[in-house]
Structure 1
Amino acid sequence: MTPSRQTTSIAPDSVGGLDPRAMCLEILDENRIMSIGTVRSDGWPHVTQVNYLRLDHALYFVVSRDSQKFANIDRDPRVSIALGGSQTPRGLSIAARAMEVRDGERIKQLNRAMQARSKSTAFAPHPSSPLVAIMEARPEIISLVDYTKPPGARRLMRVIEDWRLEPVTT
């Protein structure tokens, strides 16, 4: 019988020397692809990967308007997001609400940011249809997992509007 891996809670003030907010933002900024789970009309989960951009307090991604993902989010805005682990053994699991960005000026700003990102990194939006939508996901709950130092640590936090994080007790 192999011993199980223990996971400890992270102290409220730091994770590996960084405060939890700084570590969450660092993980979001060092990754470019996230898995996003939506709820299909039959109740089953639907998970796909998308490129994303973190700007301000939200994550943005592009989808085709005729995609299952768009229909699922339109029907139920609750999404689950997972990312990380590509550079270090740490990551985020996020509960968020997603919605289509409809403000023309905001869309222009996001298009400029996405184009600038695509020239400097692996960010390359490529939906299958010319009819695309820019989606915004606003995190509400974040689970931060850090296995950079054994035995590993995790922290469950609620996101306050300005990216302040408060611990969630379980």
Structure 2
Amino acid sequence: MRPKGDVPSPDSAAPPEAELRRRVVEILDENHLMSVATNRSDGWPQVTLVNYLREGHALCFVVARDSQKFANIVRDPRVSLAIGGGSARGLSMSAQVHEVTEPRRIEQINKVIWARAQARAFSPHPLSPAVAVLQADPEIVALTDYAVPPGRRDLMRIVEDWRVEKI
């Protein structure tokens, strides 16, 4: 028991890493839109919304091959992602993106996409030659949760198998 008037340090209230991971995955699964910020060739950032699918430890999304977003990612695979909005919780992530080119992996992603409710389906279809299937692998995640006043922010590094390390 703490003495009266003693205030807990911010670290003493930090949830264990397994709980942080659960909360991150829960937010990822509750949403289907994310903001993707890329670096343009002129140095200015570009942010756009995309549908995404959490498939295992990856966030998959499709983009048009002739889009500025695809050109930006090919030139510099570092992106910032933001997910949330409708609730008091959200994620801000630093990630590396690469194109998924293996036909079996694309087929696997397509099966998961088409099994989703129509309202959350991807368009255009990822097998179209006009689109690229991309995979974002988060490295640093900031979890913001205003559901518990006065609000909480947890910063973590994603390590192998989506284990998290508090930063």
Largest Rg, 1 or 2: 2
> Which amino acid is the alignment partner of residue 125 of structure 1?
S
Which residue of the partner structure matches residue 46 of structure 1?
46
* Paired amino acid for 1:136: Q
What's the offset of the Cα at 1:148?
Answer: 0.2
Counterpart residue type for residue 21 of structure 1: R
Partner of 1:79: 79
SS at match of 1:111: helix
| 1:74-96 Cα distance to aligned partner (Å, 9 max, x none) | 0000000001121x200000000
The structural deviation recorded for 1:130 is 5.5
The aligned counterpart of 1:125 is 123
What is the total number of aligned residue pairs between the two structures? Answer: 155
Aligned AA (2:113): M
Unaligned runs of 5+ in 1: 1-7
Alignment of 1:17-166 (within 5 A): 19-86=19-86, 88-119=87-118, 121-126=119-124, 131-166=130-165
- Specify the alignment match of 1:11 in structure 2: 14
Instruction: Output the TM-score relative to the length of structure 1.
Output: 0.85
Give, as a single letter, the amino acid of the residue that structure 1 aligns with 2:73: I
Compute the TM-score of the two structures, normalised by the length of structure 2: 0.87
One-letter amino acid matched to 2:142? S
3-state DSSP of counterpart to 1:150: coil
SS at match of 1:36: strand
What are structure 2's unaligned runs of at least 5 residues?
1-9
Alpha-carbon RMSD across the aligned residues, in angstroms, is 1.8
Identity of counterpart residues, as a percentage? Answer: 55
Give the structure with the larger helix fraction.
2
Contact in 2 for aligned 1:12/1:167 (Cα 8 Å): no
Q: After superposition, what is the alpha-carbon deviation per residue over 1:80-120, rounded to whole angstroms, capped at 9, x for unaligned?
A: 0001121x20000000000110111001101111111243x
For 1:37 and 1:83, the matched residues in 2 are separated by: 12
| Aligned CA distance change for structure 1 residues 136 and 160 (closer, same or farther; 3 Å) | same
Q: 1:149 Cα shift?
A: 1.2
Deviant stretches of 4+, over 3 Å: none
Higher relative contact order (CA 8 A, sep 6+): 1
CA deviations 1:22-70 (Å, max 9, x no partner) are: 0000000000100000000011100000000000101000100000000
